[in-house]
Structure 1
Amino acid sequence: MSYMDHSATSPVDPEVLEAMLPYFKESFGNASTLYSLGREARTAMEKARKQVASLIGARAEEVYFTSGGTESDNLAIKGTISRLKGKGNHIITSAIEHPAVEETCKYLEKNGYTVTYLPVGEDGIVKMEDLKESTREDTILITIMHANNEIGTIQPIKEIGALAREKGILFHTDAVQSVGKIPVNVEDMNVDLLSISAHKLHGPKGVGALYIRKGVRIDPLFHGGGHERGVRPGTENIPGIVGLGKACQLAEENLYENMEYVASLRDQLIKGVLGSIEQSFLNGHPTKRLPNNANFRFSSIEGESLILQLDFKGINASTGSACSSNKLEPSHVLMAIGLEEVDAHGSLRISLGKENTPKDIDSSIVVIKEVVERLRSMSPLWCPGGN
């Protein structure tokens, strides 16, 4: 089996698992208690907080632990607009956000807020001119993802953050797909809030973090004890938090080496697929994309059939976001970059990881070509040569 869907989730690194295990057994204490088991848990949690902060160039006290990217996004957006209630009701986002942001914004629209969904070009990048024109006196939040989960396009976050700061608008970015894969520095990027999820960088599922710049105040989603300085109450998931911290430490130590390695695999894959399969195309920006992401479309191919056939032959990939895989509608991301519905249905997202090899890529190119040709042979829509 070749696992090539790291944007959906990544395997837990053995060192991460090893770091977590003691906190399921011997050191199982509640970090809020005063006796030794509790103090052990608290010490481990604060170590993890420093590890997360180090990876993104933050201070430890600016990191708050959550259950994952979806909660972090909801906390950042709803917490901000709740705190700023009365100061404005306008939010700016993009047309290609992850459902955790997109659906939150749709919910807020039903509750009296106005949301501007910025369009993107065919490369999937927001235009700064559109952002500038969309800001208003009542704009209280800009939320635009760092890197897209489907097509891998990287947004000009530093420039967006600089504009937000100039206008006095808080800026949140969903960095779930970028943290641990490319350099992320909250100071350089001018962000006020940033979302992280452990299982996208070889950590465990069910844990994440929200960076909140010192001085920024948001309201909690939940109410309870004083955990996470009152921002996120609830007994802390110490094994998960330890795993997130260790995953961040490993990502920081190996960031540039891993970037170079997976980018070479990605480029090998793109060259092989586009060079050997007729009427195949790359979705998203050719270079301003995550080093591990390649999103293809194939004329006269239905994406779900392609995924199932690849799975039968030992390749795990996807058509887009795992969080939307049960929906029958075409990808809103692919539609936003200007694809026709029939083309959007024929997409293949391959997202690579450090355990993939050049041999995996060579064999996958052969299998993808074979499956595409087989499906096309059964399709009444297929026209060789594009005529």
Structure 2
Amino acid sequence: MIYFDFAATTPLDADAAEAYVKVATEYFGNTQSLHDIGGQSQQLLESCREELANAFAINKKGLYFTSGGSEGNFLAIEALLSAPLKSGNHIIAGMAEHSSVHGVLKRLKKNGYEVTFIPLTSNGLMDMNFLLSSIRPETILITVQHVNSEIGTIQPVEEIAKIAKENKIHFHSDFVQSFGKIDVTTLAPLVSSFSFSGHKIYGPKGIGGVYINPSIAWKPFFPGGSHESGLRPGTVNVPAIAALTVAAQKIIGRLDKDHTKFQLLRETFIETLEPIKESVKVYQADDHRQLANIIGMRISGIEGQWMMLECNRLGFAISTGSACQIGMQAPAKVTEALGLDKDEAKEFIRISLGHSSTKEQVITLGETVVKIVKSFKMASRDRKKQSVLE
């Protein structure tokens, strides 16, 4: 089985795994314990916090560790709403946000907040005119993911941050798909908060983080917590944090190399689809606004779920969108944001590349997709002929 679902999760890096085991066995103390063993864990925790804060070019006082991106999105949004820059109850969000954001917003709507969802243009980017026209005097929060997890388009975070600042609006951005693939050091200080996750960058599952600008006097959603300055309850997972830090150091060190590699693999894969190009629609932006390792596409007339199962049968792991959404058997959020109809949405598939991906592998996948499509269309024609004869 050849893996092409790196946007869903990545394998654990060997050095990160080694760090996890070492810390779990040698630095097992509770960071809140007052004895020396607890103190050693606390010291290591703060060292990791400082290292990651430097990787983002942010103040470490605003960096908190969570169980992952979904919890980070939840805690950030709640924190910003607990300390708005002005009075109001209106939120602006991207229509294609991760399901964790949609889940929070759904609950907030029941609590009296109003939410305006911004669609994407045909090239998968935020409709900025729509966003600007949606701002009201009572708008207190904008939440827009940096990179879409299903088609890989890169949203203009710098421009949105400027708009938010001018209108005294908090701005949260989901950095889960961008951290480790894009240099975010110029963007991270501009937002009110952002989230990130370990298992998207070859770190462990169940660990991530959230940054909340230290100037914001947020109030905890969960009362009585003593860990992570009260942001969340529960003993801090120091082994996973150490492993996350190692994984982050490694992936940041190869940003340019990865970009070049994934751009080549992306172009190669799309070229192999040339024989069926009239049936293929790839959703993408210009190169400077497109994460190369995520390819979101659909093949006219073929359901994405069927294509995924056929690829799986032939030894390739691809997906039909965000893994957090698939379990609900709902179309990928991005298909709605792009304005696709129900049948078109069902045709969506996602192919995502990773460190182990090779040119030979993407060519073989592309050729396999071509064969599947040609066989499907031939079978469809035969069925139609048979139907006419009957």
State the TM-score, normalizing by the size of structure 2. 0.93
Please report how far the alpha carbon of residue 49 of structure 1 lies from its aligned counterpart in structure 2 after TM superposition.
1.1
Please report how far the alpha carbon of residue 105 of structure 1 lies from its aligned counterpart in structure 2 after TM superposition.
1.0
Q: Distance in 2 between matches of 1:382 and 1:329?
A: 29
Aligned ranges 1:368-387 → 2 under 5 Å: 368-379=369-380
Secondary structure, aligned partner of 1:281: strand
1:208 — aligned with what?
208
Which digits, 9 at most, give the CA deviation of each residue in 1:91-150, with x for residues without a partner?
111111111111211211111001111122111211222222111111111101101010
Does 2:22 correspond to 1:38?
no
Aligned ranges 1:285-304 → 2 under 5 Å: 285-287=285-287, 288-304=289-305
Please report how far the alpha carbon of residue 22 of structure 1 lies from its aligned counterpart in structure 2 after TM superposition.
1.4
Please report how far the alpha carbon of residue 217 of structure 1 lies from its aligned counterpart in structure 2 after TM superposition.
2.5
Secondary structure, aligned partner of 2:103: helix
Please report how far the alpha carbon of residue 187 of structure 1 lies from its aligned counterpart in structure 2 after TM superposition.
4.9
Q: Distance in 1 between matches of 2:11 and 2:244?
A: 13
AA aligned opposite 1:356: S
Q: Distance in 2 between matches of 1:331 and 1:182?
A: 23
Secondary structure, aligned partner of 2:88: coil
Q: Are the aligned partners of 2:23 and 2:239 in contact in 1 as well (CA < 8 Å)?
A: yes
In the alignment of these two chains, the number of paired residues is: 383
AA aligned opposite 1:370: K
1:151 — aligned with what?
151
Please report how far the alpha carbon of residue 230 of structure 1 lies from its aligned counterpart in structure 2 after TM superposition.
1.7
Q: Distance in 2 between matches of 1:37 and 1:270?
A: 54
2:2 — aligned with what?
2
Does 2:160 correspond to 1:160?
yes
The 3 A distance-change label for structure 1 pair 217 and 141 is same
Moved more, 142-151 or 276-285: 276-285
Does 2:330 correspond to 1:336?
no
Moved more, 215-224 or 57-66: 215-224
1:226 — aligned with what?
226
Please report how far the alpha carbon of residue 214 of structure 1 lies from its aligned counterpart in structure 2 after TM superposition.
2.2
Q: Are the aligned partners of 1:300 and 1:382 in contact in 2 as well (CA < 8 Å)?
A: no
1:308 — aligned with what?
309
Q: Distance in 2 between matches of 1:358 and 1:223?
A: 51
2:91 — aligned with what?
91
Q: Distance in 1 between matches of 2:274 and 2:148?
A: 21
Q: Are the aligned partners of 2:295 and 2:352 in contact in 1 as well (CA < 8 Å)?
A: yes
The 3 A distance-change label for structure 1 pair 272 and 3 is same
Does 2:364 correspond to 1:363?
yes
1:181 — aligned with what?
181
Structure 2: any 5+ residue segments left out of the alignment?
385-390
Moved more, 329-338 or 147-156: 329-338
Please report how far the alpha carbon of residue 83 of structure 1 lies from its aligned counterpart in structure 2 after TM superposition.
3.1
AA aligned opposite 1:19: A
The 3 A distance-change label for structure 1 pair 188 and 197 is closer
2:388 — aligned with what?
none
Q: Are the aligned partners of 1:376 and 1:382 in contact in 2 as well (CA < 8 Å)?
A: no
Q: Distance in 1 between matches of 2:205 and 2:158?
A: 29
Does 2:100 correspond to 1:100?
yes
2:258 — aligned with what?
258
Q: Distance in 2 between matches of 1:189 and 1:302?
A: 42
Please report how far the alpha carbon of residue 154 of structure 1 lies from its aligned counterpart in structure 2 after TM superposition.
0.7
Q: Are the aligned partners of 2:180 and 2:201 in contact in 1 as well (CA < 8 Å)?
A: yes
Please report how far the alpha carbon of residue 374 of structure 1 lies from its aligned counterpart in structure 2 after TM superposition.
2.8
Same amino acid, percent of matched pairs? 37
Q: Distance in 1 between matches of 2:334 and 2:110?
A: 22
Does 2:194 correspond to 1:194?
yes
Please report how far the alpha carbon of residue 181 of structure 1 lies from its aligned counterpart in structure 2 after TM superposition.
0.6
Q: Are the aligned partners of 1:64 and 1:209 in contact in 2 as well (CA < 8 Å)?
A: yes
Secondary structure, aligned partner of 1:200: coil
Q: Are the aligned partners of 2:95 and 2:336 in contact in 1 as well (CA < 8 Å)?
A: no
AA aligned opposite 1:132: L
Q: Are the aligned partners of 2:181 and 2:252 in contact in 1 as well (CA < 8 Å)?
A: no
Q: Are the aligned partners of 2:297 and 2:349 in contact in 1 as well (CA < 8 Å)?
A: yes
The 3 A distance-change label for structure 1 pair 25 and 86 is same
Q: Are the aligned partners of 1:300 and 1:381 in contact in 2 as well (CA < 8 Å)?
A: no
Does 2:359 correspond to 1:319?
no
Secondary structure, aligned partner of 2:25: coil
The 3 A distance-change label for structure 1 pair 100 and 182 is same
Q: Distance in 2 between matches of 1:273 and 1:223?
A: 54
Q: Distance in 2 between matches of 1:245 and 1:285?
A: 31
AA aligned opposite 1:318: S
Q: Distance in 2 between matches of 1:265 and 1:86?
A: 47
Q: Distance in 2 between matches of 1:363 and 1:21?
A: 37
Please report how far the alpha carbon of residue 339 of structure 1 lies from its aligned counterpart in structure 2 after TM superposition.
1.9
Does 2:61 correspond to 1:65?
no
Which digits, 9 at most, give the CA deviation of each residue in 1:337-385, with x for residues without a partner?
12222122112201101111111111111111122223334447999xx
Q: Distance in 1 between matches of 2:150 and 2:364?
A: 23
2:387 — aligned with what?
none
Please report how far the alpha carbon of residue 180 of structure 1 lies from its aligned counterpart in structure 2 after TM superposition.
0.4
The 3 A distance-change label for structure 1 pair 327 and 374 is farther
2:22 — aligned with what?
22
Which digits, 9 at most, give the CA deviation of each residue in 1:215-237, with x for residues without a partner?
02222222333211122232101
1:112 — aligned with what?
112
1:354 — aligned with what?
355
Moved more, 107-116 or 185-194: 185-194
CA RMSD of aligned residues (A): 2.0
Moved more, 80-89 or 292-301: 80-89
